[in-house]
């Protein structure tokens, strides 16, 4: 049965997401449709959309505690896809074990490094040893056969493997949210409230130039909602900046700012305009 | 035998570093003295200096490919230690195995997630499966008993366990450098060429305020050598900014800029002034 959901005016046929099943990205992709395809890495999600295997791709881009997802930002530098939308998901971590396990049986806790980092105090206070896996879902799958280990993962993953939730909301802070982006080959149409994402690399004297570029936005009262630096991989102290701001690429004031920004940068790329949350 | 090395005018008695032995941080700590103490995490290195167990602490702060070491930046927000100096180390990764292993025996490659990420193309091209460990040194220790696995690690670690270097310089790019900081309880004395590191959090409208603060530096011709954003953990779009710039905290022009910056920020902290490389 083919899904007939629409997103940004497009009929959604198929959605690639960062798997395996039971991850937070799976949860987000489920909001968009039913025709979901799991891919094992962020680069392979982007590739699936680029080569037409899927119509949309869903990947995480930043977490309010851990910061940016470096590989997503790095891939956007060279990708031909556009950001069509964003979804922010509150992250709640659960301690998951086999049905017959109790807390005093547990010595090891498996999960993705970022999930372990977000539950560090909880683990330290209970003397539990963290061990890395490639995803939270992989961790949950692994504890199906362990009596001395728990996994940190989603409710969805616990259901998938018929496991027990030993403890809920074990993250260190309650401000834990992850922002996911929805990627497609098409540039987003203008809606009522828009947001635009760009990246750029300044010439030599990077931070001084950044000041001038931020001035283009400040002087036009365009509010920035995000600024992030990533190493440009050309040496320490050289950065690519990622900016999100209010407005659509086709708004006159935005067009003017982008034209001025181009004169101050060696690389400037519009990553997408999409409805702001 | 007690070491009698001096660093920044201080007699160095003992140095805490992020272990285990055989890591890049161990290599950097060795440049500073012989009285070295290995700690199992970045927070425990800082604690060892704070409570007087050691005189100096050495931890990584950023890598030219992977970006900032998030936990180091996050700890600096609340730590009472000062940056006394920095060391930049070119990172060279090696494929390490048991003495009798050859490349066609290898299916799995163990290492720290950052080291694996830095050798991603090398591993993908050879169909080798990456597996996470807590440090490059832990990976090297692990392959002592494996016939189907290699580790990515330092030459020092290979020597330590009498293992074979199957391949050298396997990292994807040659611009791979890590910056380490040296922490102490004392603020750095003024030397010929100085650098100062600060962090701050702006009021509500964060990116607009950043523009004004960068202006204080630009208008005084103070060159910024680094700008980095970290989530403030109070929600998406809220940041703490880390700036490095030329000059010492006690220079008149720097003092004036810092006073102005204080008026625009809810938190402002001088992390240290130290000799610039």
Q: Is residue B173's pLDDT more than 60?
A: yes
- Output the pLDDT for position B16: 96
CB contact under 8 A, B67 and A207: no
Work out the minimum CA distance from A227 to partner chain B, whole angstroms.
Answer: 7
> How crowded is residue B50: how many other Cβ atoms within 10 Å of its Cβ?
15
pTM, whole model, 2 decimals?
Answer: 0.78
Work out the minimum CA distance from A221 to partner chain B, whole angstroms.
Answer: 9
Can you give chain A as a three-state secondary structure string?
A: CCCCCEECCEECCCEEEECCCCCHHHHHHHHHCCCEEEECCHHHHHHHHHCCCCCEEEEEEEECCCEECHHHHHHHHHCCCEEEEEEEEECCCEEEECCCCCHHHCCEEEECHHHHHHCHHHHHHCCCEEEECCCHHHHHHHHCCCCCEEEEECHHHHHHCCCEEEECCCCCCCCCEEEEEEEECCCCCCCCCEEEEEEEEECCCHHHHHHHHHHHHHHCCCCEEEEEEEECCCCCCCEEEEEEEECCCCCHHHHHHHHHHHHCEEEEEEEEEEECC
CB contact under 8 A, A227 and B243: no
Q: Which of B131, B233, B264 to mutate to test binding with chain A, by most A CBs within 10 Å of its CB? A: B233
Q: How far apart are CA A191 and CA A247, in angstroms?
A: 10
CB contact under 8 A, A71 and B117: yes
- Within 8 A of A243 by CB-CB distance, chain B residues are 207
Compute the average pLDDT of residues A101-127: 91
Q: Which of A118, A120, A215, A233 to mutate to test binding with chain B, by most B CBs within 10 Å of its CB? A: A233
- Output the pLDDT for position B184: 96
**Beta partners for residue B138, in sequence order:** none
Nearest residue of chain A to residue B209 (CA atoms): A218
pLDDT tens per residue, range B73-124: 999 999 999 999 999 998 899 999 999 899 999 999 999 887 898 898 999 9
- Output the pLDDT for position A258: 97
Q: Which of A127, A231, A234, A238 to mutate to test binding with chain B, by most B CBs within 10 Å of its CB? A: A231
- Name which of B67, B113, B218 is nearest A230 (Cβ-Cβ): B67
- Output the pLDDT for position A3: 39
Nearest Cα neighbor of A30 from A189, A214, A160, A185 is A160
- Name which of B113, B117, B211 is nearest A214 (Cβ-Cβ): B211
Work out the minimum CA distance from B8 to partner chain A, whole angstroms.
Answer: 24
With bands split at pLDDT 50, 70 and 90, how would you rate the model's confidence at A205? low
- Output the pLDDT for position A122: 95
Nearest residue of chain B to residue A217 (CA atoms): B208
CB contact under 8 A, B214 and A207: yes
With bands split at pLDDT 50, 70 and 90, how would you rate the model's confidence at B3? very low
Work out the minimum CA distance from B113 to partner chain A, whole angstroms.
Answer: 9
Q: How far apart are CA B221 and CA A207, in angstroms?
A: 12
Q: How far apart are CA A1 and CA A16, in angstroms?
A: 17
Residue positions counted in chain A: 277
Q: How far apart are CA B25 and CA B27, in angstroms?
A: 5
Question: What domains can be seen in chain A, in order of their start residue?
Answer: 6-91+176-184 (3.40.190.10), 94-167 (3.40.190.10), 194-275 (3.30.70.260)
Please tell me the least confidently modeled range out of B65-69, B125-129, B257-261.
B65-69
Q: Is residue B237's pLDDT more than 80?
A: no
- Within 8 A of B212 by CB-CB distance, chain A residues are 218
How many separate helices (H) and strands (E) can be counted in chain B?
A: 9, 17
- Output the pLDDT for position A228: 83
Compute the average pLDDT of residues A84-109: 93
Work out the minimum CA distance from A1 to partner chain B, whole angstroms.
Answer: 36
What does the mean pLDDT of chain A come to? 89
- Within 8 A of B68 by CB-CB distance, chain A residues are 67
What is the interface size between A and B, counted as CB pairs within 8 Å?
Answer: 118
**More confident position, B13 or A219:** A219
Compute the average pLDDT of residues A169-184: 90
In the three-class reduction of DSSP (H, G, I as helix; E, B as strand; rest coil), residue A38 is classed as: strand
- Name which of A65, A215, A227 is nearest B229 (Cβ-Cβ): A227
- Name which of A65, A133, A214 is nearest B207 (Cβ-Cβ): A214
- Within 8 A of A236 by CB-CB distance, chain B residues are 62, 64, 88, 177, 179, 226
- Name which of B132, B177, B207 is nearest A132 (Cβ-Cβ): B132
Angle (nearest 5°) at CA A216 between A214 and A218: 70
- Match 């160095």 to its residue by tokens: B12
Q: Is residue A101's pLDDT more than 60?
A: yes
Q: Is residue A1's pLDDT more than 70?
A: no
Q: Is residue A8's pLDDT more than 70?
A: no
CB contact under 8 A, B71 and A117: yes
What does the mean pLDDT of chain B come to? 89
Q: Which of B132, B209, B222, B227 to mutate to test binding with chain A, by most A CBs within 10 Å of its CB? A: B227
Highest mean pLDDT among A59-63, A113-117, A238-242, B230-234: A59-63
CB contact under 8 A, B175 and A67: no
**Beta partners for residue B181, in sequence order:** B59, B86
Q: Which of A208, A210, A211, A221 to mutate to test binding with chain B, by most B CBs within 10 Å of its CB? A: A211
Work out the minimum CA distance from B234 to partner chain A, whole angstroms.
Answer: 6
Work out the minimum CA distance from A135 to partner chain B, whole angstroms.
Answer: 11
Work out the minimum CA distance from A125 to partner chain B, whole angstroms.
Answer: 15
- Within 8 A of A69 by CB-CB distance, chain B residues are none
CB contact under 8 A, B233 and A132: no
- Output the pLDDT for position B277: 76
Residue positions counted in chain B: 277
């Amino acid at each position: 049965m083919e899904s007939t959901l629409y997103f940004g005016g497009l009929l959604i046929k198929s959605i690639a997401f960062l798997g395996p099943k039971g991850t937070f990205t799976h949860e987000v992709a489920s909001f968009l449709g039913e025709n979901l395809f799991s891919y094992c890495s962020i680069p392979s999600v982007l590739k699936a959309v680029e080569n037409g295997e899927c119509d949309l791709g869903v990947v995480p881009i930043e977490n309010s505690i851990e910061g940016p997802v470096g590989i997503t930002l790095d891939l956007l530098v060279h990708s031909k896809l556009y950001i069509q939308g964003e979804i922010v998901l509150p992250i709640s971590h659960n301690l998951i074990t086999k049905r017959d396990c109790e807390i005093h049986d547990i010595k090891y806790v498996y999960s993705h490094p970022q999930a372990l980092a977000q539950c560090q105090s909880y683990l330290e206070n209970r003397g539990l040893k963290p061990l890395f896996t490639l995803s939270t879902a992989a961790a949950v799958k692994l504890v199906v056969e362990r009596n001395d280990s728990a996994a940190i993962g989603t409710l969805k993953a616990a259901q998938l493997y018929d496991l027990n939730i030993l403890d809920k909301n074990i993250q260190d802070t309650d401000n834990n949210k992850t922002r996911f982006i929805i990627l497609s080959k098409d540039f987003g149409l203008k809606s009522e409230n828009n947001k635009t994402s760009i990246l750029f690399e300044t010439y030599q004297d990077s931070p001084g130039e950044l000041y001038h570029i931020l001035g283009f936005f400040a002087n036009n009262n365009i509010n920035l909602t995000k600024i992030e630096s990533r190493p440009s991989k050309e040496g320490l102290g050289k950065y690519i900046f990622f900016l999100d701001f209010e407005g659509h690429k086709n708004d006159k004031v935005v067009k003017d700012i982008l034209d001025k920004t181009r004169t101050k940068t060696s690389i400037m790329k519009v990553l997408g305009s999409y409805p702001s949350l």
